[in-house]
Amino acid sequence: MRKSTLVGLAGLVAALAGVSYWGARPTPRTWSTTSGAALTAFEQGRQAAEKFYHLEAIDHFRAALSLDPEFFAARIMLAESLASSSQNGPAKEETARALETADPNALTPGERGLWEIAQLRTQGKSDLVYPALERLAKDNPGDPSFSRQLASQAIMRGELDKAAKWAEKTLQVAQNDAMSYNTLGYIEMGRGNFAASEAHFKRYVFIAPDQANPHDSLGELYTVMGRWEDAENELRRALEVNPRFFPSWDHLARVAALRGDEAGALEAARRSGEITGVDQEQLDSRMATLRGYTALSRGDRDGLIAIARELPSDAVLGDTGLLRAIAASYQGDLAALRQLASAASAAATKAEETGKKGPRPVLALINSMRLRAEGHALEAAQVAGSAEAALNFSIDQAILKLLLRCQEVEALAAAGERTKAQQVLAAIEAVNPSFPCVETCRQLLGRH
């Protein structure tokens, strides 16, 4: 045989061997357990947890741990599910046990990430959690747990775009991840993308129809959109699923108030109070606020002014501050507005020192009213308009946003900028044509 043939033959054999080796090379495993049954139970637990069925998830995780007690991921996710179902004590115990028994060197890359995050949280190093999650999510693109946590962290940090990005990434690998649909639903609601928001919430409802939260979220969306009946239906469905789901009673009270149904609003608030067990003073304050909104919805200025007097004088932020400012505005009481603005500014500064961001839009609304009362209508409109951008999340913020826009319309109208006022009003109507102040704005601009 010629040398060239031998070389060719050797090359062929080498190529076949190389390709064989390339094909045979193994890739890292995802989880450390060697028990197939434990892995199956674990995956079932993950799927349940994705859909917020935390009690079911707890059972699966415990089953996985009974088969393999050293299955780190199962224990750490058991702790997460315990925490999500408000069993904080057992959750902490499981986390501590997981960290105590785990050998980081024996863990898979994904599990080491979970271990690292749990370690940081246990050690109170919350500021290091987010960058660690970002790194882990990048290293483990197929694992939804890191991107899901990142979305939550981003929301807490007010980085809603990032939160949306991480939620979408989560859905790419776990298309039934309920939390991501919920997150995206709220973010799109805040962005005013109600159709997208509704789609996300409806997927959430579809995935977990026997949970109260998805119906409640959809009810919130419909409330923001002024679809009062749809909102009430969803909220009542949430309460059918879970009659003790008090946020839905609260939201139902809000819807009733915005529709001018004082009795309904007060009844829902009472039911919520029964569940949460708030004291009478808090309940009375809540009732007064609802009555104030009811009056606002009815266009009952005198009623609102009377109710404002009942509201606690030290509460300058939130619904209380808003209603008091509106009442003062109705009265043309500049001194009261200035006093309210000063107190609100101090309270907002104090709140921001503790890391809260919510008070600023309320302060902007009060200041806008003050400026308009002082005759600085254009500045008032500017302040109201600029504050809207910060309001993106939750029903309260959405209502506040609508109120700010109404204030902007009124300020622009007062400044003679009727065209701009008309445009802002149109924007409000596009969101919620049934919102209480909309009619006032229409009257102000001569539209009926």
Partner 1 sequence: MNRGHTTGLLSVLAFGVAALLVAGLSILDMFLPRPYDGVVLEADRADLAVRAVVAGSGAARAGIEPGDRIAGVAREVVRTPAEVERALQQHRIGETVTYLVERGGQLVEREVQLGPRRLGTALYLYACFSGFLFFFIGLYVLLSRPDAPAGSPGHVFFVLCTLFLLFLVCRLRPASYSWVDGVVLTTGTLSLLALPAAFLHFFLVFPRRLQLTLLPTDEGWRDSEPPLLRAAERFVNLSPHLFTILYLLPPVLYASTLAIGSILDLRVRLVSGAPLASWVLMGDYLVLGLLALLASLLRAREGPERRQIATVFFGTVVGVTPFLVLGVAFPSLFRIDRYLLLGVIPLIVVPLTFAYAIVRFQFFDIHVIVRRSLLYTLTTGVVAVTYAVGIAAFNLIFRDSSIGSSRFYPLILALVILALFDPLRRRLQEPVDRFFFREAYDARRAVEEFSEAMVREFSFERLDAMLTTRLSELMHLEWAALYRREGSAYVASRAAAPLPAELSDRLVLITELARHDAPARLAVLEPVKALDHESRTTLEAFSRAGARLLVPLRTREELHAVLVLGPKRSDEEYGRDDLQLIKTVANQGAVALETARLYREQARQLELAKELEIARRVQVALIPAELPVLPGWQVAARCVPARQVGGDFYDALVGPDEGTLALVVGDVSGKSVSGAMLMVAAREILHTAALGGARPEQIMQIANQRLYTPQPRLFVALAYLLLQPSGRVTYALAGQPAPLVRRLRDGRLEVIEGPAPVHRLPLGALKEGAWDLRELQLSPGDLLVLYSDGMTEAQNLAGEFFGEERLHSTLVGNDGQPAAIVEGLMSELREFVGDAEPYDDVTVVAVRWMGDA
Tokens found for residue 209: 């129809």
C-beta separation of 180 from 214 below 8 A: no
Candidate residues 122, 126, 175, 282; the one interacting with partner 1 per rule CB under 8 A: 175
Q: Give the whole-angstrom CA distance, residue 296 versus residue 282.
A: 21
Return the sign of the alpha-carbon dihedral for residues 335, 336, 337, 340.
Answer: positive
Number of residues that bind partner 1 (CB under 8 A): 26
Does position 55 interact with partner 1 (CB under 8 A)? The reply is no
Residue 184's closest CA among 207, 206, 167, 161?
167
Does position 142 interact with partner 1 (CB under 8 A)? The reply is no
Does position 30 interact with partner 1 (CB under 8 A)? The reply is yes
Residue 140's closest CA among 103, 173, 104?
173
Query: What is the 3-state secondary structure of 229-281?
Result: HHHHHHHHHHHHHCCCCHHHHHHHHHHHHHCCCHHHHHHHHHHHHHHHCCCHH
Q: Which is nearer to partner 1, 35 or 87 (CB)?
A: 35
Candidate residues 7, 14, 16, 426; the one interacting with partner 1 per rule CB under 8 A: 16
Tokens found for residue 7: 């070389």
Q: Give the whole-angstrom CA distance, residue 12 versus residue 245.
A: 70
Does position 105 interact with partner 1 (CB under 8 A)? The reply is no
Q: What's the min distance (Å) between Cβ of 237 and partner 1?
A: 12
Q: Which is nearer to partner 1, 16 or 346 (CB)?
A: 16
Q: What's the min distance (Å) between Cβ of 199 and partner 1?
A: 5
Candidate residues 10, 11, 29, 103; the one interacting with partner 1 per rule CB under 8 A: 29
Q: What's the min distance (Å) between Cβ of 2 and partner 1?
A: 10
Tokens found for residue 102: 């785990």
Candidate residues 3, 4, 22, 353; the one interacting with partner 1 per rule CB under 8 A: 22
Q: Which is nearer to partner 1, 29 or 356 (CB)?
A: 29
Q: What does the radius of gyration of the chain's CA atoms come to, in whole angstroms?
A: 28
Tokens found for residue 13: 């054999």
C-beta separation of 146 from 113 below 8 A: yes
Q: Which is nearer to partner 1, 208 or 224 (CB)?
A: 208
Q: Which is nearer to partner 1, 32 or 392 (CB)?
A: 32
Q: Which is nearer to partner 1, 60 or 203 (CB)?
A: 203
Does position 342 interact with partner 1 (CB under 8 A)? The reply is no
Q: What's the min distance (Å) between Cβ of 136 and partner 1?
A: 18
User: Taking every pair of C-alpha atoms in the chain, what is the biggest distance, in angstroms?
Assistant: 111
Q: Which is nearer to partner 1, 32 or 432 (CB)?
A: 32
Does position 182 interact with partner 1 (CB under 8 A)? The reply is no
Q: Give the whole-angstrom CA distance, residue 41 versus residue 38.
A: 5
> Which of the ranges 21-29, 70-78, 369-377, 411-419 carries the binding residues for partner 1, by CB under 8 A?
21-29
H-assigned helices in 374-432: 377-388, 395-414, 418-431
Does position 3 interact with partner 1 (CB under 8 A)? The reply is no
184-223 footprint of partner 1 as x/- string (CB under 8 A): -----------x--xx--xx--xxxx--------------
Binding site for partner 1 (CB under 8 A): 1, 16, 19-20, 22-24, 26-30, 32, 34, 108, 175-176, 195, 198-199, 202-203, 206-209
